[in-house]
A and B are shown apart, each in its own frame.
Chain A
Amino acid sequence: MRRREAEAVCPTVATIEHDPGAEMARFERVAVAVETLIPRIEVVIPGLILAPVTGAVRYFGGEEPLIDRVAKEIDAVAGQGFRLGVAAGPFAARRAAEIATEADPLYVVSDDDAFRAMLDVEALGSDDMAAVFRWLGISTLGELAALPREAVVSRFGPDGLRAHRLATGEDRATQDRVIAADLSIEEKFDPPLENLEQAAFIARSLAHQLLEAPVMQGATPHRIEVEAEAADGAVRRRTWRSADPFNEPMLAERVRWQLQAWLDTAQLRSGPGIRGGLVRLRIAPADLSDDGRQLALDEDALSAAEAQRAFAQTQAIVGNDEVLQAIPQGGRDPGERALWYRWGENPPAPERDPQAPWPGQIPAPLPALVPPDPYPLEVEWDAGIPTRVRLGTRWVEVISWAGPWRKVGRWWDGEYPADRYQLVTSAGAFLCAVVQGKTYMAGVYD
């Protein structure tokens, strides 16, 4: 519901602006409490933590003692209202936590495959995609996982691939991965930074430096570690995680939220934040996207993921056959000189060699508009010379003309020879083809 609609229904309603920074400041106590028990937690959004528990389970002697300790710690700092989900993978664990209730805040998944299979397609987090799946008769992730991946990708593009991966349990694990080189970016501050706005500006600058760094080679991270050193020497670290690769605004936003959380908790003395100001900030990328790409020199780093999403959504609306790209190929007519293929698929090999000589080829510049099927055009001829063209309801005089460029048809395929003319009128220039005495519109020089 929009704000205006809500106020119309209830004029006394109070509107509270969504402030992830403030949310993170309040959530920081929970993150610190969990981190005292389980190292290397990852924050997805303020309010949601993923924690790899394998080592902690061994340390505390089992899942139950660990969960008891975690629940007590959270209860002590934030009170009731939390929910815990335990599963082998992050996706299932998150859904398990969503299923848990306030009365029964723990949901343990014993069999990830069976649990995922019974989840509704809404669990994928896309209402549009869930609606289409239901329309296709697919209501659970188990039914989705049973479909061939190629078919899902062909229909839904990158979003479909991600959905199928989630449905089949190929989620990104929370374990650390080996990073080949130190890709971190660091900035030191003297005097220490205590102003959040300054810190936010620095966060933006560091995010830009990190993603544009040559050593990144165009790759984008799915996880980042934010490390801050306080003036008293204390070092704080927090890992943030995202299903989509981090782009510059997303990265800067996470760093700002985290800094706000640390600075606020220190000011309010509600947790071990950054006391005395920030003297060093370091951002380290991890879990680099497998499909990292080489950016052009002046290319915007956030464009790829957004563009992919936009085209995939467009494909969902108009169909795969209507979102197209083309590559050059040989041919005599303008329409023959492009080979179309669906966006998201690999370009096919040209059917005709674009470098080969094509006698009778229409010279450049080529018409910008070419009808898919040439349609009849009324042209008045006087002794083989075009004099007038009918455009809509009016006749327009031909000012000048060039041609013909003769195209000899493949007579064995039933094609007839065609003479192509460029006609120039006061309303523009057109390409027309004369086949068996009839004139057709073959292109508009628009």
Chain B
Amino acid sequence: MAGAVQLEQLRSASDLGAPDVLSLQPGRVTGLIGHPGFGLTRLGLVMLASREQLGPVAYLDVRGWLSPPAAWESGLSPERLVVVRCSDPVRWARVASHLLEGVGAVYAEVPARAKPAQLHKLVALARNRKTPLVLRPVQGDLPSGLAHLRLEARQVLWEGTDRGHGRLTNRKLVFEASGKAMRGMTRLIEVEDDGTNALRLVSGLAAAPAGRATG
């Protein structure tokens, strides 16, 4: 139910003019680009949570670092989240393809040595099976033109902490959205995360002038 709430909030934000970038669409491939620490894992988990009503969702964990409590905070229920750990790039592609054929949505960390041909095959399979796929490279970037929607983290601002006081509470993540899903435009989008499962698009920034055309 938490997933439904957050999706509703995202939809209401998109009604304000921002594209519906944070909800996973059948067969759409979303690329999350940025260093660990920018909050992209949490963003991906929220995206997964919006699809868990349709069946179990899978997190393909290359590093073995995923912390399930953060996933539960993001709206995923424990019984719907299956974590698959695989660091070998050859087996990783096989595992990802099997997952795409059976589960509601897949969040896959991409190992550093994954080949572009493997990624293109996975994208084709995701499109064919109409399974949403979120790709998060552990290092570097994705091959160009691979993802329908490319979200690259630009800035993260944390609130709540001071010099030894308080605790982390709110986070503002600014990222650049581009790709076919953005109709060739590049936009800056800000997401507010108050530590619960409710990410919120800030419409003002989302309606910022488009950057250079891509694709």
Interface centre among B42, B64, B67, B72 (most CB of A within 10 A): B67
Q: Mark B35-50, 1 if CB is under 8 A from A, else 0.
A: 1111111100100000
Map CB proximity to B onto A323-341 as digits: 1 under 8 Å, 0 otherwise: 1111110000011011010
The yes or no answer to B103 lying at the interface (CB within 8 A) is yes
**Contact segment of A81-89, A168-176, A302-310:** A302-310
- Choose one: A299, A314, A366, A429; the contact of B55 (CB below 8 Å): A299
Q: Contact between A402 and B168 (Cβ–Cβ < 8 Å)?
A: yes
Secondary structure type dominating chain B contacts: mixed
Q: State the CA gap A325–B166 with chains docked (Å).
A: 33
B208 proximal to A (CB < 8 A)? no
Given known pairs A303-B56, A304-B55, the reply for A371 and B65 (CB within 8 Å) is yes
Determine which of B53, B69, B95 lies in contact with A338 in the assembled complex, contact meaning CB atoms within 8 Å.
B69
Q: Is the beta-carbon distance between B36 and A428 smaller than 8 angstroms?
A: yes
Given contacts A314-B98, A369-B65, A400-B162, contact A303 B104 (CB under 8 A): yes
Within 64-120 of B, Cβ neighbours of A (below 8 Å) are at: 64-73, 78-79, 81-86, 91, 94-95, 98-99, 101-104
Question: What 0/1 readout, one digit per residue, does chain B (192-209) give for beta carbons within 8 Å of chain A?
Answer: 010110000000000000
B-chain residues with CB within 8 Å of residue A327 when the two chains form the complex? 78
Chain B residues contacting A338 (CB-CB under 8 Å) are 67-69
Taking a contact as CB atoms under 8 Å apart, the answer to whether A366 and B166 are in contact is: no
User: What's the minimum C-beta distance from B60 to chain A, rounded to whole angstroms?
Assistant: 9
User: Which residue of chain B has the shortest Cβ distance to A301 in the bound complex?
Assistant: B55
Tell me if B69 and A402 are in contact (CB < 8 A): no
B98: chain A residues within 8 A (beta carbon): 310, 313-314, 317
- Cβ distance A309 to chain B, nearest Cβ, rounded Å: 6
The answer to whether A430 and B164 touch across the interface, beta carbons within 8 angstroms, is: no
Most buried by B among A313, A314, A335, A337: A314
Q: How far is it, in angstroms, between the C-alpha of A250 and the C-alpha of B56 when the chains are bound? A: 21
Closest approach, in angstroms, between the C-beta of B89 and any C-beta of chain A?
13
Task: Give the residue among A309, A328, A366, A422 with the most B Cβ atoms within 10 A.
Answer: A366
A429–B162 alpha-carbon span in the complex (Å): 13
Q: Give the distance in Å from the alpha carbon of A313 to the alpha carbon of B101 in the complex.
A: 11
**The one of A371, A401, A427 that contacts B37, using a Cβ cutoff of 8 Å:** A427
Q: For the complex, is B163 an interface residue (Cβ under 8 Å from A)? A: yes
CB distance from A384 to the nearest CB of B (A): 9
B63 to chain A, nearest CB (A): 8
Whole-angstrom distance from the CB of A204 to the nearest CB of chain B? 17
Contact B79–A429 (Cβ < 8 Å)? no
> When each residue 407-432 of chain A gets 1 if its CB lies under 8 Å from chain B and 0 otherwise, what string results?
00000000000000010110111100
By the criterion CB–CB under 8 Å, are A317 and B94 in contact? yes
Interface string of B134-165 (1 = CB under 8 A from A): 00000000000000000000001010111111
How far does the alpha carbon of A363 sit from the alpha carbon of B161 in the complex, in Å? 12
B193 / chain A contacts, CB cutoff of 8 Å: 365
The binding surface of chain A is classed by DSSP as mixed
Hey, which chain A residues are within 8 Å of B38, CB to CB? 427-428, 446
Among residues of B, the one whose C-beta sits closest to the C-beta of A318 is B86
Return the contact of B161 from the options A309, A391, A401 (Cβ within 8 A): A401
Chain A residues with a Cβ closer than 8 Å to the other chain, count = 56
Q: Across the interface, which residues of B come within 8 angstroms of A445, CB to CB?
A: 37, 39, 42, 158, 168, 171
Q: How far is the CA of A308 from the CA of B56 in the complex (A)?
A: 9
Contact status A429-B168, CB under 8 Å? yes
- Classify chain B's interface size: 35 or more
B65 near A400 with CB under 8 A, answer no
Is the CB–CB distance between A324 and B82 below 8 Å? yes
Given the complex, which residues of A lie within 8 Å of B35, measured CB to CB?
427-428
Let me know if B37 and A323 touch, CB within 8 A: no
For residue A443, CB closer than 8 A to chain B, the reply is yes
CB-based nearest A residue for B60 = A314
Instruction: Give every chain A residue within 8 A of B104 (Cβ-Cβ).
Output: 300, 303, 307
- In the bound complex, residues from chain B placing their C-beta under 8 Å from that of A56 are none
Residues on B with beta carbons closer than 8 Å to the beta carbon of A303: 54-56, 102-104
Q: Are A318 and B167 interface neighbours, CB within 8 A?
A: no
Q: In the assembled complex, how far is the CB of residue A389 from the closest CB belonging to chain B, in whole angstroms?
A: 10
Residues on B with C-beta less than 8 A from A310 are 58, 98-99, 101-103
Contact partner of B84 among A314, A328, A365, A444, CB < 8 A?
A: A314
Chain B residues whose CB sits within 8 angstroms of the CB of A446 once the complex forms: 36-42
Instruction: Give A325 to B81 CA distance when docked, in angstroms.
Output: 7
23 residue pairs A–B, Cβ–Cβ below 8 Å: A296-B53, A300-B54, A307-B103, A310-B98, A311-B103, A317-B98, A318-B84, A323-B83, A323-B85, A324-B84, A326-B83, A343-B82, A365-B195, A366-B69, A366-B73, A368-B70, A400-B162, A401-B161, A422-B168, A427-B37, A445-B37, A445-B42, A446-B41
Binding site for B on A (CB under 8 A): 296, 298-300, 303-304, 306-311, 313-314, 317-318, 322-328, 334-335, 337-338, 340, 343, 363-372, 385, 391, 400-403, 422, 424-425, 427-430, 443-446
Interfacial residues, chain B to chain A (CB-CB below 8 A): 35-42, 45, 53-56, 58, 63-73, 78-79, 81-86, 91, 94-95, 98-99, 101-104, 156, 158, 160-169, 171, 193, 195-196
Apart from A299-B55, A310-B58: 4 A-B pairs, beta carbons within 8 A: A303-B54, A303-B103, A311-B99, A328-B78
